[in-house]
Chains A and B, each alone.
Chain A
Amino acid sequence: MPPSPAVLEATTTSGFLLVLAIVLPVVGALLTFATGGRALERIALATLPLGLVVAAAIAFATPSASTPLVYLLGGWAPPLGVALRADGLSAVMVAVTAVVICAIGVFARADFRTPVQSIEARAPFAFWILLLAIWAALNAAFLAGDLFTVYVALELLTFAAVPVVSLNGRAETLQAALSYLLFALVGSVLYLVGTVLLYGAYGTLDIVLLSRRVHAEPATLVAATLMTVGLLAKTALFPLHLWLPPAHAGAPAAGSAVLSALVVKGSLFIVVRLWFNVMPGVPGFTATQLLGGLGAAAILFGSVVALRQERLKLLIAYSTLAQIGYLFLMFPLAFAAASAQLENGAALAGGLLQAISHATAKAAMFMSAGLISAALGHDRIAMLGGVGRVLPLSVLAFAVAGVALIGVPPSGAYLAKELLLGAAFATEQWWWAVVVQAGGIFTSAYLVMVLVHTLAPATRPLIPLVPVSWYQEAAALALALCSLLLGLVAWDAFLPVPHDTLSSPLSLETLSRALWPILAGAVLAILLGRWRNWPRAPLHGYAVAIAAPARRGALALVGILERADVMLRQWPVAGLSLLALSTALGASVLAAH
């Protein structure tokens, strides 16, 4: 809905908070850069709580889900000036970003400490500056009021995120970082072409002004297509995911956490802005179904390939791929056939809640995987036996984060799932309900597989290579618990959540409904997982006799998917998919008008 004209003309009383949210991390990053040495860690750690306070203040100051906080830079109103705006969606994203960044900061203190004997070390110096820069860029992307500021914010985000991948300086991570950068750059050029087309057609890039002027004409359709595809390349939606697995798996634990939890959400958020706020009437039914279909394919590919990984970090990286697909299910579900446009309703709330739950849970998962990998000196899933005894808190954090992600009440993912399922039934699109359930089952499949390995007895005595500090485990566990309890927050102040979905997340009936995806996931894990030897169970021989033929059939199918994934991650193939996706999306947008 377009806000009242008054919104455009004045800075609201607490509008300065928006500037503070962007400037504070920038100042922190500049100060750390200027001082360097041993002080940098202290400055960075001091910036974190301040930013958290600002984010909380924005969340409290946001008057309601639809009327935004506004700050006009230099007092110039759009279209002449540039505005910063925080509506409910941005306020939520800024708050979650602050929480996750703070937890990552606490976690990273041990890994990125300047050694006692040296004046300055390369990795800590780079990491703390980049962490603050990523934070500033994300806040700018969430709060920007016009599409060009969004472009600059996304570029800053990419530039800050790429070096995080290659902090350890090894050849594979350098290669992953370069691939990530180049593919993201293609995406941002496509986005830039879209913005200039929109400017040429309407004379403004301000989101609110544009949403009033925009109508379906060739320039708008081409712009919408190019911008969307560009953002999808940066979000790594299947089949544009060539850079994601090596980049997210190769980065140090704290880096992986910030990349997987937050950085991909930046570009996703802009797709949401574009489709829901700028041009809700432009995409049409076919385009939304196409995005949802890619999401479903991402869930299938990402989850199946995740189940076949030998290394824990790669498994989590592929699970991110699947979860990104899950987030795109909100687009078809938000499409209202009656008005032929995307509605700000339950589906949008569900999608964003899932994004938030994923941000907190995935950061926790990468942190605990990092702790496990540091303690053991490797992260091979088959050799994780006994970790549950050595690092009980890390394994617990991993388990809680996974359980939250599956959608066990009262987690945020549970609420998101209810909202998405509700939207699927309200819009009579039962096929997306199937995909939503399948997503939960696949998630539980890889969680079950990892947990079975971590809880297995050790084959030889395990001695941690490095001591794991308690606050690192606490940071991971806190984020995991945060994800698990997100469903209890009163989201209707920020997101368009219908009131009746918040009924009773802890009743026996909802708990039992949450149980069957876990059981189904366990079956999937047995069929598709990489088992060195079968899990020992009563009636072992019979179980093997029944399961072995099914497993052979399933593995043949999985082999095809794995080979397809390897092929899709080749540069020329990914480039062709980019072009094919642009054509398909363009054609479906065109078909709607």
Chain B
Amino acid sequence: MSTSIVFGLCAAMAAGLGLYGVIAHPQPLRKILAFNLLGSGVFLFFGVVARRGAAAGFGGDPVPQALVITGMVVAFCATALAISLLLRLFQTTGIATLRADALASRGTDPTDP
């Protein structure tokens, strides 16, 4: 079993766990963390692709490495934005939830314009 396959399997596992978390966990913070796990899996997969494309004396193809850095910056920004929205939601309502009915039962009327 080559290193590419081992890392590829790890990437698939991380991405799969992350995807499960994003879909299944009800709490937004867990969803954000799971999204990061999913992202990490995908970035590891970038590494595998870079390794497999190694040529001309390089240890890895530099293009996926450049892409993965951009991807990480994007994922970082996304996480920061999501966390700040979540914090604001928590400050405003006292609960962190994505369920509209939870807000309604708190007493605020979501149909109010």
Contacts and interface: CB of A to CB of B under 8 A. Distances in A.
A196 B67 contact: yes
Contacts of A203: 53
Contact of B88 (A169, A197, A199, A578): A169
B63 interface: yes
Interface string B39-66: 1001001100100110000000001100
Contacts of B77: 155, 159
A107 B82 CA distance: 29
A377 interface: yes
Contacts of A174: 85, 88-89, 92
Interface string B70-87: 110010011001100110
A579 B39 CA distance: 17
B85 A162 contact: yes
Given A175-B103, A178-B85, A178-B86, A576 B92 contact: no
Contacts of A571: 23, 26, 98
A575 interface: yes
Contacts of B22: 182, 186, 575
Interface residues of A, number: 46
A155 B74 contact: yes
A410 to B, nearest CB: 35
Contacts of A447: none
A152 B92 contact: no
Given A189-B35, A310-B111, A162 B88 contact: no
B74 A152 contact: yes
Interface residues of B, number: 42
A318 interface: no
A552 interface: no
Contact of B82 (A182, A200, A377): A182
Contacts of B38: 186, 189
Nearest to A148: B67
A87 interface: no
A255 B113 CA distance: 15
Interface in A315-370: none
Given A172-B100, A576-B23, A189 B81 contact: no
A162 B85 CA distance: 10
Contacts of B63: 199
A179 interface: yes
Given A186-B35, A196-B64, A152 B70 contact: yes
A113 interface: no
A435 interface: no
Main secondary structure of the interface of A (DSSP, over half): helix
A182 to B, nearest CB: 5
Contacts of B110: 172
B40 to A, nearest CB: 11
A172 B35 contact: no
A226 to B, nearest CB: 10
Nearest to A80: B63
A193 interface: yes
A506 interface: no
Nearest to A203: B53
A189 B22 CA distance: 12
A196 B81 contact: no
A28 interface: no
B47 to A, nearest CB: 10
A192 to B, nearest CB: 6
Nearest to B109: A172
Interface string A179-198: 10110011011001101110
Given A152-B70, A182-B82, 12 more contacts: A162-B85, A171-B92, A172-B100, A172-B108, A174-B89, A178-B28, A178-B89, A186-B38, A193-B42, A200-B64, A313-B113, A578-B23
24 contacts: A159-B77, A159-B81, A162-B85, A169-B88, A170-B108, A174-B85, A174-B89, A175-B100, A178-B85, A178-B89, A179-B98, A181-B78, A181-B81, A181-B82, A185-B78, A186-B38, A189-B38, A196-B67, A197-B49, A199-B67, A310-B111, A313-B113, A378-B113, A571-B23
Interface of B: 15, 19, 22-24, 26, 28, 31-32, 35, 38-39, 42, 45-46, 49, 52-53, 63-64, 67, 70-71, 74, 77-78, 81-82, 85-86, 88-89, 92-93, 97-98, 100, 103, 108, 110-111, 113
Closest 9 CB pairs of A and B: A575-B23, A200-B49, A174-B89, A171-B93, A178-B85, A172-B110, A155-B74, A171-B92, A378-B113
